[in-house]
Structure 1
Amino acid sequence: MATRLFEDRAHAAIYQKYRFSPQENLQSVIFSYLEEKRVSPGQLAVDVGCGSGQSTRMLAKHFEKVVGTDISEAQIEEARRAPQPPNVSYLVCPAEDLPFEDGSVDLVTAFAAVHWFDGPRFLREVDRVLKPSGCVVFSSYNRHMQLCYKDCTDELTEIFREIQDQLFTFRNEKIKLVENDYQEIFDSLPFQEKQRMTDIFDKIPLSVADIIGYIQSLSPYRLYLEAQPEEAKSLLQNTERRFLETMGVSSRDTQLELRTKHICILGCKSS
């Protein structure tokens, strides 16, 4: 059964504002693989569980047509509000029931999303819609992140990990798939040609305010906010204060760097 945690309008707006698109090194791995498999440039890419469309727009210059799909109407509304390349569109639909003909899609992607789906049903649907020699890309960042600023990287990262650990008690059980680096999803992918990478690193320039917004966008935080609203809001306020004090600055617009580690599954259907 698919898990639905990102659907209310307030969460969708935060997701659009604070979630980041796939970064340079991850993109390089993905598009090098697609070029090797002769899928990029291609005719149709489908980005499943696209949320507010950050990853969908990234695909636009590599395909004639890109369609982002999500089960959340609020997320799709946010995606449509953003500036779009002319070849990008969006649909509201379940990941397990894609409105595309058999063998019509060159690429199916899911960024920070595939772990929420009904895995067996989704993978059968992927196999159905993909063309012979079509490809899949399933990727997510995991909990191993660093916050870097001058000489206080270790202290900032420790604060960030404390927050992650505190929110950990509110996580959905499907997060275990991310914690296991998508091994179960990789094993279930019904393609002989497939690979799983767990050592792709990227650097993302963000402000303190952006980091706080990112924490707000996380599903465990949304569950915490629902269960204990005052405590959840206090956690954000205290976290921001600790970041600023550790950095020795007063402005939440101060820039630092988030270093991420990605999981990425790449696969190609046989011809």
Structure 2
Amino acid sequence: MIKQTAFALWLCIACPLALAGDPPLRLSTTTSTDNSGLLAWLLPLFEAKTGARVQVLAVGSGKALELAKNGDVDVTLVHARAAEDRFVAEGHGVNRRDVMYNDFVLVCPPSDKAGIKGGADIVAALRKLAASEVRFVSRGDNSGTDQMEQSYWNMAGVRPPAPRYVSAGLGMAQVLAMAAELQACTLTDRATWATVRDKAALAIVVQGDPRMFNPYGIIAVNPARHPGINERAARQLIDWITSSEGQARIAAFRPHGQQLFFPSALPAR
């Protein structure tokens, strides 16, 4: 009995549990990780292992990085690589790590009046779309998806005129519902599309272009800029989600039998 008690006490001391009274870990993240159900799949295991409590703020990647820049969160998980690199270069974040990836897809009404179905060139598809009478609904919220969409239109050198181009200022799930209602096209991450495709009268018309690659990264807020952040828990989450266990958990997330995110973490340097 004494040996068992001593062993239990050793476990309690050795495990990296949160300290009593520790504040919650505030995580800003893109809507795709939340809407897809990935966070509900990942975070309970992380919380059970560490004792941390995670508060999730699911917004577009641009807003998620802005919350981190202001010190309103402790860590951010987003998919806007150029913006992430600027965030770190400007000293707002530290310890950025690759986490996972998936891809973007272009979805349109099944009638495909723009005649672009089956293509694998997103820029050529958008040029055809702009020349057609089909409407396009944009996120319009500076999210990672919105930033990628704008880069495609810039490469295309053209976009539909108003009112055929609708800037919604909404999250991805809401934009997909809006596009279905308006019989319009939109760009979406594959994970969110997989969660709503049975409810939206839309179909994938373009996929597979290497330019539609969609990587996700996690970044801790720089404690030198914001000394009051929960640096300890932020480091724990980054270490866990990029560990072999966290990466395996991401790979095992397969709602409806389809893998939506692919782990991509590299060893810490």
TM-score when normalising by structure 2 = 0.33
Work out which structure has the larger RCO, using CA pairs closer than 8 Å and 6 or more positions apart in sequence: 2
Bigger CA radius of gyration: 2
TM-score when normalising by structure 1 = 0.33
Structure ranking higher in strand proportion: 1
